[in-house]
Copies of this chain bind each other. A is one copy, B any other.
């Protein structure tokens, strides 16, 4: 089960995400990042690799794609905000991009 992040873990997690280009939406307690690629094939290739990891984690992004751009938002519906799963998936997205 996911647990809502708080205290030091939350501060540290958010600081790391912001340092790698994620922005925090306080209203939704979600993080977002826009990834840009060379073309559609590269953008969708990234989505395909990320989709497999998301499914393995059973934690899925909200995301959109327009040609070579992929916009990703992560939050955990079960806890109505950010959980450890979001930090883990965000890190994976950064690695794959």
Interface residues, chain A, with chain B CB atoms under 8 Å away:
40-41, 44, 47-48, 51, 54-55, 60-67
Contact = CB atoms under 8 A, between A and B. Distances in A.
Nearest to A54: B40
Contacts of A51: 40, 44
Contact of A64 (B54, B55, B63): B63
Nearest to A67: B60
A54 B55 CA distance: 24
Pairs of residues from A and B, 6 with the lowest C-beta to C-beta distance, nearest first: A64-B64, A44-B51, A62-B66, A60-B67, A40-B60, A63-B65
A48 B63 CA distance: 14
A30 to B, nearest CB: 12
